[in-house]
Amino acid sequence: MKSFENFGTQRPENPDEERKSVMSWLGKSNPALIPAAFAAAISAGEVQAESIEEIHGQDWLQGVETLRESVMNADTEVGATFVIGEDGKQYWYSSGRGEATSVNKSTSDITRELAQFTEASGEEIDRFCEAHTHNLAAMAEVDFINDEELAKFQAAGYGPSAPPSLGDINLFSEAKISSAVGDTSYFKTVFDAQGVWYSRVPTDADYDAFPNFRAEVDHKREVMGEVFGDVRNEFEGGIVTEVLEALDMETLQELVDKYGSDSDQRSVEFSREHSPNNIRSTLESALRTLLIINNDPDYPLISEVLRSDAYRDLYQSFLNADSVDDYQFYKDTKMNWIEASKDGQYDESLIPQMYEAFIRNGALVRFVPYDQVPNEPPCAGPDYRPE
């Protein structure tokens, strides 16, 4: 049985991703400067999809309606990309292969679409939105609503709001896109039955609005630096970087073979075929990631990589610094929001708690109900404030 808490995530690899998300850790460590090396290779398993072809060429509002209809009636989630040029030309592309409770997005598809847009329009790109849906059928798939409720909601044309999961704002996806598109501005967007969720990685200025939480962020950054090095400078320093750099290629490969995910294996094979000079960094990145997302103090990889008591104790301080309270607050607030929205209306009083719940877990979000979308610029993003 799939968990409703994780539905909608893109390529969920770890069942504890919500509990200890990479975004929650690294997003708080200065997200705008994640090095391209950490993004690793584009997975060889990513494919272009033709799941929502009618959206091709539509403008912003037309595409919003297409995705809204998909939320209500489609059996699978879908992905799409909206691009707007500096002179205002707009274009939606289909770019996701839908599954029952997730959608696979391809970075290579996005970069290809951006190039096509520039060539066809003659305009430089102002910004783009990478989008996917949280459809009602997915909520039924994970038994949050039953089949009778699904039929009722679809017939009535409304349904519960399903906000992003923490996995939807996955830092690896962010890093891959950022390394591919450079300085081009973009936002993540999730379309549910009641509106659009914009998101991006928070900055220091965003955290300044939460002084008590900011102290926790600073503490986590300090521990993160001691264990994993400077994430703003390709993980320079830190005990994990020191240990991984001392291992030979054969040992690195053996550890990834033993502990890595299918996605890790695909990334290594992709590097081996297309970028052999990057194989070592790909292997090191996979192992580093496994240690970052781990929440088990007895995880065998720890003793295999960190062979001194001092290093293991320091790594334990990293595990201890994670806040279970942050995740529980997110989980409880999100479920309250969903439950309150079953009558087809979101509870506006819960919005401040929702925004805090997300930023405590490494994501800045903004929700826009469908009836307000026409009053905003296309792909307005999380920082837009209506006048």
Taking only the tens place, the pLDDT of each residue in 216-250 is 878 887 888 899 887 656 678 899 999 999 999 99
Whole-number pLDDT of residue 312: 95
Q: What sign does the dihedral 164-165-168-171 (CA atoms) show? A: positive
Closest CA to 160 of 149, 169, 148: 149
123 or 103, greater pLDDT: 123
Domain contains 153: yes
Domain contains 225: yes
In a shared domain, residues 27 and 156: yes
In a shared domain, residues 22 and 109: yes
In a shared domain, residues 35 and 125: yes
Whole-number pLDDT of residue 232: 59
SS3 content of the chain, % helix, strand, coil (to 5): 55, 15, 35
Domain contains 111: yes
Domain contains 176: yes
Whole-number pLDDT of residue 233: 64
**Least confidently predicted of 41-50, 56-65, 331-340:** 41-50
Whole-number pLDDT of residue 184: 85
Domain contains 387: no
Whole-number pLDDT of residue 322: 67
In a shared domain, residues 293 and 351: no
Judge whether residue 140 has pLDDT over 90: no
User: Above pLDDT 70, what percent of the chain?
Assistant: 79
In a shared domain, residues 174 and 28: yes
Judge whether residue 117 has pLDDT over 80: yes
Cross-sheet strand order for the sheet of 185-191 = 103-105, 90-98, 79-85, 125-133, 185-191, 195-200, 364-369
Domain contains 384: no
Judge whether residue 15 has pLDDT over 60: no
Please give the tally of structural domains in the chain. Answer: 2
28 or 189, greater pLDDT: 189
**Least confidently predicted of 14-23, 278-287, 328-337:** 14-23
In a shared domain, residues 295 and 336: no
Q: What is the mean pLDDT of the chain?
A: 80
Whole-number pLDDT of residue 14: 39
In a shared domain, residues 197 and 340: yes
> Residue 191 and residue 295: Cα distance in Å, rounded?
31
Judge whether residue 310 has pLDDT over 90: yes
Q: Write phi, then psi, for 331 (nearest 5 degrees).
A: -60, -50
Task: Please name the helix (run of DSSP H) or strand (run of DSSP E) that holds residue 316, with its range, or none.
Answer: helix 309-321
End-of-domain residue from the set 302, 321, 340: 321
In a shared domain, residues 197 and 53: yes
Beta-carbon contacts of 121 under 8 Å, excluding residues fewer than 6 positions away, are 85, 89, 91
For residue 336, the enclosing domain spans 4-203+329-375
Whole-number pLDDT of residue 60: 97
Cα angle 193, 200, 4; round to 5: 40
pLDDT tens for 158-209 read: 999 999 987 787 554 565 566 667 778 889 999 999 999 999 888 888 888 8
The answer to whether 200 and 194 have CB atoms below 8 angstroms apart is no
In a shared domain, residues 145 and 92: yes
pLDDT tens for 343-381 read: 999 999 999 999 999 988 878 999 999 999 999 999 999
**Least confidently predicted of 51-55, 67-71, 162-166, 348-352:** 51-55
pLDDT tens for 78-112 read: 889 999 999 999 999 987 666 666 666 667 778 88
In a shared domain, residues 168 and 240: no
In a shared domain, residues 197 and 215: no
In a shared domain, residues 38 and 179: yes
Domain contains 383: no
Domain contains 314: yes
